[in-house]
């Protein structure tokens, strides 16, 4: 008598089982979100158009596009965008690079928390824009004070989030690792860092937004290029459409960069439960 051996289907094997219904639901959810995003953009433009018909001096979307074309034809739009991007990237990267180790230090060592947290909280309540006069006096009117103000905004936003991520790591995981004989360095690398990564990336998103929010004011410091500088010049000449062009460009680049960080977050924290 022969016995037929049925080979297990790899797609339904334990540990390899795919969840087609879940995947289909995620795809549908992404498509719905994309459709809602596109819809809300058109609704926003339509609302802007309607409001501009009733509000004096508010440019319409068409007038803003025309101003953007003139701005680009002058050959200075690209230079302004590059100047602002350079300042934002430099300040944001420096602020994040310092905020992450400082946040880990404050969260992991109680003595570091006692020494650093009061100062972090103190400067966090001081708007970065209030530092501009002091930055001009101490650093002059070159690129350094502009980047420093953006750096400070990004640093203060990211360091608190990193610190909270470290202190909120589940103590059970840390104790379990210690019971299994893991050293502090191993616990830090294998438990604390992965568990706090979502907090770090959220802090980076907030810091990126703070950097863009600060760049306009930072370019008050004797700038000759930059989107903020161009918007301030447009204010002097009452060129409202160009001001709107600057707002749209800053918002667009800020949104794109935020989505890039969000994409990185999804790749690094795929294990995290999401709604």
pLDDT at 265 over 70: yes
pLDDT at 16: 44
Query: Tokens for 179?
Result: 């019971």
pLDDT at 5: 44
Categorize the per-residue pLDDT at 196 as very low, low, confident or very high, splitting at 50, 70 and 90. confident
State mean pLDDT over 203-218.
Answer: 87
pLDDT in tens, 87-131: 999 999 999 999 999 998 888 888 888 898 888 888 888 887 788
The mean pLDDT value for 8-25 works out to 52
Has residue 1 got a pLDDT over 50?
no
Considering all CA atoms of the chain, what is the largest pairwise distance in Å, rounded to the nearest integer?
97
Residue 12 has pLDDT above 60, yes or no: no
Percentage of residues in the chain with pLDDT exceeding 90? 13
Number of other residues whose CB lies within 10 A of the CB of residue 25: 11
Whole-prediction pTM value?
0.79
Can you spell out the DSSP letters for 100-157? HHHHHHHHH-HHHHHHHHHHHHHHHTS-GGGGHHHHHHHHTTSHHHHHHHHHHHHHHH
Is the pLDDT score of 6 beyond 70? no
- CATH superfamily label, 59-268: MetI-like (1.10.3720.10)
Give the position of tokens 């905020």: 99
């Amino acid at each position: 008598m022969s016995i037929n051996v049925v080979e297990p289907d790899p797609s339904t094997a334990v540990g390899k089982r795919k969840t087609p219904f879940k995947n289909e639901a995620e795809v549908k959810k992404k498509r719905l979100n994309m459709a809602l995003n596109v819809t809300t953009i058109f609704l926003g433009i339509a609302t802007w158009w309607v409001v501009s018909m009733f509000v004096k001096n508010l440019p319409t979307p068409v007038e803003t596009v025309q101003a953007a074309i003139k701005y680009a034809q002058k050959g200075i739009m690209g230079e302004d965008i590059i100047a602002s991007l350079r300042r934002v990237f430099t300040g944001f990267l420096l602020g994040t690079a310092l905020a992450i180790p400082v946040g880990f230090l404050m969260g992991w060592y109680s003595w570091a928390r006692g020494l650093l947290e009061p100062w972090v909280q103190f400067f966090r309540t001081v708007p970065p824009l209030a530092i501009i006069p002091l930055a001009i006096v101490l650093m002059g009117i070159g690129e350094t004070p502009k980047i420093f103000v953006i750096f400070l905004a990004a640093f203060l936003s990211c360091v608190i989030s990193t610190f909270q991520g470290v202190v909120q790591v589940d103590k059970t995981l840390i104790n379990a690792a210690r019971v299994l004989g893991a050293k502090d360095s191993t616990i830090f690398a294998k438990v604390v860092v992965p568990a706090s990564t979502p907090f770090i990336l959220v802090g980076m998103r907030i810091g990126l937004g703070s950097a863009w929010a600060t760049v306009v004011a930072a370019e008050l410091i004797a700038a000759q290029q930059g989107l903020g500088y161009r918007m301030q010049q447009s204010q002097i000449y009452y060129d409202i459409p160009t001001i709107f062009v600057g707002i749209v460009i800053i918002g667009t680049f800020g949104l794109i960069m935020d989505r890039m960080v969000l994409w990185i977050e999804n790749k690094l924290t795929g294990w995290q439960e999401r709604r």
